[in-house]
Structure 1
Amino acid sequence: MDFFNWTEGAFTTNSSSYDSSETATLPPSKILLTITLSVVAILTTFFNCLVITAIAVTRKLHHPANYLICSLAVTDLLVAVLVMPFSIIYIQNEKWVMGEVVCTIWLSIDIACCTCSILHLATIAIDRYRAITDAVEYSRKRTGARAGAMVAVVWLLSILISLPPLLWRHYSDDEEHKDQCIIIHHHMAFTLYSTLGAFYIPLLLILILYYKIYKAAQTLYMRREASRASRHSCMTNGSMIPSSYPAGDSDGDGGPRSPDPISPPEKSFSEPSTEETPRERVRVSKKVFQSKSRRHDSRSESRRSQMYQGPRISGSRERKAASTLGLIIGAFVICWLPFFVKEVIVNTCGSCNTSIEMADFLTWLGYLNSLINPLIYTIFNEDFKKAFQKLIRCSHYL
């Protein structure tokens, strides 16, 4: 993601310092690096295609929230297909060899897609926050059209953030950097505009929203736990006496209903010649009563065991929610924060520079987020797991 002034940064080289015989054969370290980056690009393509296909062919996943996940996967797929391969060639040759037009197109796609991927994460955080804090009202507003509008806004903001760097580069024609595909500028205001819009504001929004989501989920679990505890307390203190019959076997007034020896349909369709004696009727009614009592006792025992396990279940769900949010935020911060911190430091400090290797590493660490996104946002969803399993099973028969 080549946002800013990289005069001492990634992919910088002096073509005169390399002899033709040296560039003809790549060193083993460069070959290993190329293979590693190619594997990352292939895996990113595969997993994002898997997410898109699962949402497209699985009816159960046709939900507005998953449309945002699908749009994120499409954005990350564009990074894998249109950005990573050119970056690999750039690193391999240590100079730009594909012309000015391709450089401009690559830079525009690079900046726009990476920015759009980051803004998608913020949009998903907003959607999840509204869904958990205003579930009833937001469920009516959470439509496919609304999700499409959110995606359109994300792409529009990404273009507005990425367009100024491209326009600035268009007017920066410097012969010294003819073998580089970079954006050159010397204004701190431009750095602040780009970094704040592309990363720091979305990061702050994600941190605040996911913290509120965690607190709201924690409050919800606490309420459910208190409700279960109060019901269990009433039953153990004797103030709530369970009925001898299932809820469906009671009358309209809520009281227990005495068992009928024979149900009305059996009475109406029974013939006089085959009608049972009173003693047999009593025996049948006793069996029906005992079977209903056993069923209700098993249900009551199951409900009581669930009440005993209530705090444990709530605690496990809370830990799972916390771990999921931690993975989402942690992966995003680890992948993109070093790159944007470096950009701010390099472009605001005249004597601060980074090596070519470090700049390449930080750039690809940001690209790695496009591989992690489809894993984190789907691996904890049972519907996605089942859809992936079906797709993988079907692929064995092809």
Structure 2
Amino acid sequence: MAIHSRTIAWKIPWTEDSSSTAAAVQLCYEHLNGSCVKTPYSPAPRLILYTVFSFGAVLAVFGNLLVMISILHFKQLHSPSNFLIASLACADFLVGVTVMPFSTVRSVESCWYFGEIYCKFHTCFDGSFCYASIYHLCFISLDRYIAVTDPLVYPTRFTVSVSGMCIAFSWLFSIIYSFSLLGTGANAAGLEDLVSALTCVGGCQFAVNQSWVLVNFILFFIPTLVMIVLYSSVFLIAKQQARKIENLSSKTGRCSESFQDRVAKRERKAARTLGVAVLAFLISWLPYFLDSIIDAFLGFITPAYVYEILVWIAYYNSAMNPLIYAFFYPWFRKAIKLIVTGKVLRENSSTVNLFSG
């Protein structure tokens, strides 16, 4: 979901006398004036890269599809918090469908074969789904904070309508911002000479000037800071609650938990799981955003292969959340089993109890 995609390629003007040059290098479009130079990999690395990148795309598509089907099909999972998770999965699913397959070809072939129009859409989708993910995660952290600090009052404070507003904001703001920035060309203001030098047939370059790189970083940094503060508070409160319950049990000699204790324990576990998802997001995306701001202020010095590595670490985040849910949530594993075996097609399958043994 990189806010700007760069295919580092060189432009070779084609003339009848340049056949010897063409023989020495491979072009994205042979015999085409102004074609980008292709920098292909040898067969073994090429196969490995296609396998790794394609696996990420498939995992992002089918893993997030399972999350969405699970939450939307089973009535027991219909909650404001889970609707946020389903919407987050939708953003990651769309990355797997509209971004990763095309980026796979671009990264391995070092050429863009999908047309100038989709190059723009690809980059817009990239930015939109990145910001949609981070704002979903920010609202999820707020949801977990309310749930852990006051679990009994939480259902009346974070309702379906509140969740809906959070989802609407995350999508609308992200899409409007990304399409406006890239659609108007404001991102490249002042970089016309650089864009002209890099533009060639078979390339997909979107340079972002220093001002907008700074704005992009701020839009990433603010929700990130909010998440860190909220989750730090959540884990501090959870630790205090656990200590309080332990002290009470030792004093009374009872091991049984009250209803409030059980609710608090469940919310803490959910917060811990989603905290891991937030941490995974930060580890995936922070290096890319830091590089983008350093790169813009130092004249785009990042080597192409380093840039591709950072982009794919970020892309792989879209495939990670389903794995995190499968690892931490027994109900998700049970839901996957019902979906994969086709039992969700049975009558009344939506009322199955996913929280029983």
- TM-score class normalised by the smaller sequence: 0.7 to 0.9
Q: Is 2:204 the counterpart of 1:181?
A: yes
Structure 2 match to 1:19: 26
- Write the distance in 2 (CA, Å) between the matches of 1:388 and 1:220: 33
Which residue of the other structure, out of 275, 286, 308, is the alignment partner of 1:360? 308
> For structure 1, which runs of at least 5 residues remain unmatched after alignment?
233-303
Structure 2 match to 1:248: none
- Write the distance in 1 (CA, Å) between the matches of 2:89 and 2:171: 14
Query: What is the deviation of 1:362?
Result: 0.3
- Write the distance in 2 (CA, Å) between the matches of 1:319 and 1:68: 17
- Write the distance in 2 (CA, Å) between the matches of 1:318 and 1:134: 10
Alignment of 1:153-164 (within 5 A): 153-162=169-178, 163-164=180-181
- How high is the TM-score relative to the length of structure 1? 0.70
Structure 1 residues 182 and 389, CA, compared in 2 at 3 Å: closer, same or farther?
A: same
Specify the code of the residue in structure 1 equivalent to 2:215: Y
Structure 1 residues 348 and 389, CA, compared in 2 at 3 Å: closer, same or farther?
A: same
> For structure 2, which runs of at least 5 residues remain unmatched after alignment?
13-21, 31-36, 347-357
CA contact (8 A) 2:231 2:275 kept: no
- Write the distance in 2 (CA, Å) between the matches of 1:348 and 1:132: 42
Structure 1 residues 396 and 319, CA, compared in 2 at 3 Å: closer, same or farther?
A: closer
CA contact (8 A) 2:136 2:166 kept: no
CA contact (8 A) 1:11 1:360 kept: no
* Secondary structure in structure 2 of the residue aligned to 1:119: helix
Structure 1 match to 2:284: 335
CA contact (8 A) 2:80 2:159 kept: yes
Structure 1 residues 111 and 52, CA, compared in 2 at 3 Å: closer, same or farther?
A: same
Q: Is 2:300 the counterpart of 1:348?
A: no
What is the percentage of aligned positions where both structures have the same residue?
A: 32
Specify the code of the residue in structure 1 equivalent to 2:42: P
Q: How many residues align?
A: 313
CA contact (8 A) 1:15 1:95 kept: no
* Secondary structure in structure 2 of the residue aligned to 1:52: helix
CA contact (8 A) 2:188 2:208 kept: no
Structure 1 residues 87 and 24, CA, compared in 2 at 3 Å: closer, same or farther?
A: closer
- Write the distance in 1 (CA, Å) between the matches of 2:168 and 2:325: 20
Q: Is 2:180 the counterpart of 1:129?
A: no
Radius of gyration: which is bigger? 1
* Secondary structure in structure 1 of the residue aligned to 2:175: helix
Specify the code of the residue in structure 2 equivalent to 1:193: V
Query: What is the deviation of 1:23?
Result: 6.1
- Write the distance in 1 (CA, Å) between the matches of 2:91 and 2:327: 19
- Write the distance in 2 (CA, Å) between the matches of 1:155 and 1:83: 17
RMSD over aligned Cα atoms: 3.2
- Write the distance in 2 (CA, Å) between the matches of 1:27 and 1:66: 45
Structure 1 residues 320 and 55, CA, compared in 2 at 3 Å: closer, same or farther?
A: closer
- Write the distance in 2 (CA, Å) between the matches of 1:329 and 1:49: 20
Structure 2 match to 1:383: 331
Structure 2 match to 1:249: none
Query: What is the deviation of 1:56?
Result: 2.0
